[in-house]
Chains A and B, each alone.
Chain A
Amino acid sequence: MCNANFQSRITSHLVTLFRTMRQSLLAVFLVVACLPWHGVAQNPDGTLLDFTDAEVRAVLRHGPWPIPWSRDPSNRVSGQPDAIALGERLFFEPRLSADGTVSCATCHVPERSFTDGLRVGRGRQEVDRHTPTILNVRLNRWFGWDGAGDSLWAQSIRPMLDTRELAASEAHIGRLIRSDRDLACRYGRAFGVPPAANDDTIMVDAAKALAAFQETLVTGRTPFDDFRDALKRGDRGAASRYPEDAQRGLRIFVGKGRCSVCHFGPNFSNGEFEEIGIPHYLKAGGIDWGRAQGIKAVLANRFSLLRAYNDDPARASAVSSRHVELNLRNYGEFRIPSLRNVALTAPYMHNGHYATLSEVVRHYSEIDPLRLHLGPEIYDSDGVAIDLQLPTILKPLNLTEREIADVVAFLETLTDSDSRRPRRAPEAAACR
């Protein structure tokens, strides 16, 4: 049940071992390590819950996985190997920061599923929000917790210029890439021309190379995907190996929990925003208005898809930006994250409010609808609050302790164990 690449790699290892080392015991160990479900507890009794047709349809909507590659039309070097190589180098390059101490990998740590394990991120200074994983980031429509970026490359500019993160400038980035022989060489290979004199152009191109690299950061198959595909082909034997507690948790997820309304589709996110009652006061004072700030920012951003740096002449890639509008309900909304590898990306929520998945599920179980909706209260002339007819998606689920544990067990089956071992740094070979 390992994914094809992993299986192929293991097979190759086994052949080598049998031919050259003949260490049978070690070979047996590797075979055991490659058994189905990647370390998630199996279901020895082979029980398959009596999922209804509607539940099966709901489960099938969370696949197939992986999603086929498609290039980003707004980025002319999307998918180009030379741009990916440049982007990888820049991702781990601390000289991109003003004082040479911070790189993208400072917060997006490969061994931590490209997060940092901290409640809120810390570049040169602490920021206000939790560092989201960038695994599968290519599937986002909006980027950042508030969606202030409408493309992966535009989003990659933001931390470079933020004074709390890399604190760089257009001039600093332009100077670095023009003056460093290896980076200049890679830039030339990726873009077909030497680094330009214009700093804005170089910075945007650097961001597009960074985006090309980040597009390659994807998670592989998980125990859930194997279960989902077994259901799809009617293979009860394979499906029944999926842990029973995870099956119960999945039933809640697509059923009474209504989690899949927002955590929709193969990537377990509909790519939009929701307000879920997480405290929104900032440590330094003030309020994090989330999506409302993001909409204002994207519409004012000179690097948005509506502006000149979009490489898509038809501007079809800008449809979301062209039609997005600010509504009252956007205040306090944050992006609905993918749940793939969620067990590896604690703490949770936009500000790292919860340390464990159990706490997150308990939040939805006990949610207080009165804590939702941050819009200003409106009263009539008698001082009576007017019902603003705001959304009513979230209601307390009142889950039992076992049900909470079951949902967590399901979420843990969304883990691709291979992604715990990403490459730590680019290869050393210099560009000539």
Chain B
Amino acid sequence: MQAKGSAVLVAILAIPPATAQTCADFAGAAKVDSERYVLAYRTKPDKIAVGQHFSMDLAVCPKESQNTPESVRVDAYMPEHRHGMNYRATVKPADGGRYLAEGFMFHMPGRWEFIFEVRGGGKTDRVTRSVTLE
């Protein structure tokens, strides 16, 4: 178990931290600002279909002199229905300072909110972004 934990740690350390340019260069991504970070994300596939799993490429770029993110969490919620997804999305570091979030499914048409939580420097930034499915 210790060897596996070490491998994960090495993988995280080996990823170069995202810079503002990482988000600027993220082609086709939607951008959303929190107090200390810029988040750029793109779902796969681009068009989210009701009842179909999808994933998300995500970059979290610290604004000037802000801390590198220590953890990133993405969830989703349906405000009008007051429920979330039936699945827990997982976020893993990926190439180029990005993250890969997997396991999303919006199981109903209507307005959903992505909820992004970025923890760094002992504080958590929380920001939401709406998407409506027909």
**B45 at the binding interface (Cβ < 8 Å):** no
Q: Mark B13-50, 1 if CB is under 8 A from A, else 0.
A: 00000000000000000000000000000000000001
B64 at the interface (CB under 8 A from A): no
* A366 sits at the interface (CB 8 A): no
Main secondary structure of the interface of B (DSSP, over half): loop
Q: Mark A264-278, 1 if CB is under 8 A from B, else 0.
A: 110000111100000
Q: How far is the CA of A327 from the CA of B82 in the complex (A)?
A: 13
Distance in Å: Cβ of A232 to nearest Cβ of chain B: 15
Of A262, A323, A392, the residue contacting B89 (CB under 8 A) is: A323
Chain A contacts for B107, CB-based, 8 A: 270-272
CB pair B108–A264 under 8 Å, yes or no, is yes
Contact for B102 among A61, A272, A319, CB less than 8 A: A319
Say if the beta carbon of A363 comes within 8 Å of chain B: no
Taking residues whose C-beta sits less than 8 angstroms from the other chain, chain A's interface range is 20 to 34
Shortest A402–chain B CB gap in Å is 27
A367 CB, nearest partner CB in chain B, Å: 15
Cβ-based interface call for B88 (8 A): yes
Residue of B nearest to A329 (CB): B83
Q: What is the CB-to-nearest-CB distance from A260 to chain B, in angstroms, rounded to a whole number?
A: 8
Shortest CB-to-CB span from B101 to chain A, Å, is 11
Query: What residue in chain A is nearest B88 (Cβ atoms)?
Result: A325
A261 CB contact (under 8 Å) in B82, B90, B102, B108:
B108
B-side interface size class:
20 to 34
Say whether A320 contacts B87, CB under 8 Å. yes
Residues of chain A in range 312-327 having any CB-CB distance to chain B below 8 Å:
319-320, 322-325, 327
Give the docked Cα–Cα distance between A180 and B81 (Å). 55
User: Is B109 a contact of A261 with CB atoms below 8 Å?
Assistant: yes
Q: Does A389 contact B (CB under 8 A)?
A: yes
Using known A-B contacts A261-B109, A264-B108, A391-B81, determine if residue A272 contacts B50 with beta carbons closer than 8 Å. Answer: no
Contacts of B103 in A (CB 8 A): 319, 322-323
Q: Which residue of A lies closest to B54 (CB)?
A: A319
Q: Is A57 an interface residue (CB 8 A)?
A: yes
Please name all residues of chain A whose beta carbon is closer than 8 Å to the beta carbon of B80 when the two chains form the complex.
392
Taking a contact as CB atoms under 8 Å apart, the answer to whether A262 and B87 are in contact is: no
The answer to whether B90 touches A323, judged by C-beta atoms less than 8 angstroms apart, is yes
Report yes or no: A270 in contact with B53, Cβ–Cβ below 8 A.
no
Contacts of A428 in B (CB 8 A): none
From known contacts A270-B108, A391-B82, A393-B81, infer whether A323 and B88 are also in contact, taking CB-CB under 8 Å: yes
Chain B CB within 8 A of A21 CB: no
Give 3 nearest A-B pairs by CB, closest first. Answer: A323-B103, A323-B87, A391-B83
15 inter-chain pairs at a CB distance below 8 angstroms, sorted by A residue, are: A57-B134, A261-B109, A264-B108, A264-B109, A272-B86, A272-B107, A319-B102, A322-B103, A323-B53, A324-B86, A324-B88, A325-B88, A329-B83, A392-B82, A393-B81
